[in-house]
């Protein structure tokens, strides 16, 4: 048995299923995607949420966040405003509907976190350390790929 290959296969299955399952969809409005749900999360979490702050949290470009925010405004989940004395920066806040999505998303994350913590109780501290190391390395690999993709996209747009 090749344990390493089994781990990679299991991780791939988890990733594929997460794309299908998303966040339970129970109270999430039809047509809301995961990036939009996470954008709502950051708008509801960050003080004076603006494109730059949200982009930093989501590891996305400001342009991508602007597009997501416009879609969320069109869906009536987010509204924009300017802070008094600062006409330059556009900030976002949740509407009542957006606040309901925020709360549902938080509830889904809390449930998922609780389920995973329960699973981890069956692992020794040494096993948990190995799992953490592996997942951290996978995260770094993904982060590096995302940086490469953003760099390639930036170069393409500057060539135009």
- Global pTM reads 0.68
Q: Predicted confidence band at 60 (pLDDT cuts at 50, 70, 90)?
A: confident
Tens digits of residue pLDDT in 79-132: 999 878 777 889 999 999 999 999 988 888 888 888 888 888 999 999 999 998
3-state helix, strand, coil in the chain (%, to 5): 70, 5, 25
Tens digits of residue pLDDT in 150-160: 788 778 877 76
Tens digits of residue pLDDT in 20-44: 455 444 445 557 888 898 899 999 9
Locate the domains of the chain by residue range: 23-122, 124-160
| CATH fold for the domain made of 23-122 | Arc Repressor Mutant, subunit A (1.10.10)
Q: Report the pLDDT value the prediction gives residue 94, as an integer from 0 to 100.
A: 97
Going 81 to 86 to 90 to 93, the CA torsion angle's sign is negative
């Amino acid at each position: 048995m090749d344990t390493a290959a089994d781990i990679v296969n299991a991780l791939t299955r988890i990733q594929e299923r997460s794309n299908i399952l998303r966040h339970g969809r129970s109270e999430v409005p039809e047509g809301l995607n995961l990036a939009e749900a996470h954008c709502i999360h950051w708008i509801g979490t960050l003080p004076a949420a603006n494109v730059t702050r949200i982009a930093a949290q989501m590891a996305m470009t400001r342009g991508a966040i602007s597009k997501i925010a416009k879609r969320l405004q069109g869906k009536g989940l987010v509204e924009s405003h300017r802070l008094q004395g600062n006409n330059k920066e556009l900030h976002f806040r949740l509407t009542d509907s957006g606040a309901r999505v925020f709360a549902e998303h938080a509830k889904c994350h809390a449930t998922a976190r609780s389920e995973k913590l329960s699973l981890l109780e069956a692992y020794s501290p040494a096993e948990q350390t190995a799992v953490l190391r592996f997942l951290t390395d996978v995260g770094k690999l993904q982060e590096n790929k995302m940086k490469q993709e953003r760099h390639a996209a930036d170069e393409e747009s500057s060539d135009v």
